[in-house]
A and B are shown apart, each in its own frame.
Chain A
Amino acid sequence: MIKVEGLTKRYARTLAVDNISFEVEKGQIVGFLGPNGAGKTTTMRVLTCFLPPSAGTATVAGFDVLEQPMEVKKRIGYLPETPPLYPEMEVVEYLQFVAKLKGIASGDVRRRVDEVMERCSVADVRTKLISKLSKGYRQRVGLAQAIIHNPDVLILDEPTSGLDPKQIIETRELIHSLAGDHTIILSTHILSEVEHSCERVIIISQGKLVAIDSVDNLTARLRGSEAVSVELEVASGRPNPTEVQQRLEMVAGVSRVVMKDSRDSRLVFEVESLQGRHIRADLARTVVNSGWNLSELRSVGLSLEDIFLQLTAAEQKETDVKEIQGATV
């Protein structure tokens, strides 16, 4: 559905996107992940024909963004980072305007507008001025605007930014319900979002493609090792924290112990294991055998967050690209 080859976008002085290639199948939800300024928005803008690429090609549904932008634009629904809303319009008026702008026949406009208002649950504010809407409603009107012409491809730039937790869940569900008929690319720097709603992840950093894989594969890569938070209660001053730390480091399978907190009698450590080792039982035994009180033992896991940080950390970048591309191709 979407095919990007060797895409490069250069601004006056900076290289925003550097030779990115990827493909997205029909009906997939793909998460576009990267720190701020990584080139997510630029890539999306190229796909929506807002910006021309400096080099490389991008095709949507078989149409090149440079050669046949009209055909591409007809097939794309786009929600930019700030929803493109006209504050002086009413919601229904705005959606009718967009519907006509996207080329929906006059006879169908009313029906389509009612449909998307229902779907994005903005029907209750239909006659409100957009300038009076809350952030959550604005975002949903923006989403309604993107799907109004039932496009093949939906491109959503940080669809949940600035929403409260309840709205985030609602938006996620909405996006999920849109999958299937639509191919969706959504960008975000919030990782849990990708874990929840995407099938595949494209990670970019500083304009370069760092990883492209399914969410499960990416997490599985680092599932082997685990991190455990250990909280102890000891009589104050005895034993001293470094002593405890040394003892924990001696447990079999432990790779690293970091002291997180030490106040009065309370000590908190984060213990990381080596690949494929389960250390919780041994840890608990060590603590109890030493005569300390174990008040908490909790797995903090290595989340997508950690993978992401590892992948995007500059010093590790080169090796990781090779490693991951080797693993997936």
Chain B
Amino acid sequence: MLFTKTKPIEEVLESLGNEKKIFLLACDGCAEACGTGGKDGLAQMKDEMEKAGKSVAGTCLVDFLCNKVLVTTRLSREMEQIQQADSIVVLTCGIGVQAVSKVVSKVVHPADDTVSLGGMQGLWPSDERCNACGQCVLDYTGGICPITMCAKSLLNGPCGGAKDGKCEVDPEKDCGWQLIYERLEKLGRLENLKKAYSPRDHSKMLPSEDVRKTSFYDLEK
């Protein structure tokens, strides 16, 4: 699930420039759940556009804008209106914007910003986070991720900045390494703290060719 926030309308209008006829497209998936898309988002954006003196060439709601087959099917009925418009304003996450851009040859303006949730979640969106670093050390850290739970992503943590078990960045945020320490103590594995971790291999963040060939990376491959 991707988390979106509505862009300030001034930002969207600035991006539209002198464009007059705007087609509005919204996602009924994650964006609807976030209150940035869906039927309501579409209606609100229509108001804003008309208030700004634009004319709305048409509106369309699609269940999942990240699904290009679905987008192609649904938009085929609106193609005439879309072609007549100057551009499309899309209420969706960054994935949706890119997917729509591939399917229609029209300028696409994002109405939403996709906001960091601090890493990927599982299919059950709880508070576990993964940054897909490719060098998992969870066995040494009691199952608590130092990359996502430490603000500095330290491997040889903690730093000297934690106060009362809270991170120097935010007194409401737990120090990741405090959590790791407490868990290791509970597991009787405090000796793991002595592990001298080598520096991270950041080149692993660029998906390699063999990964890019898989359908995990690209369903259409």
Is A bound to B? no
Binding site for B on A (CB under 8 A): none
Binding site for A on B (CB under 8 A): none
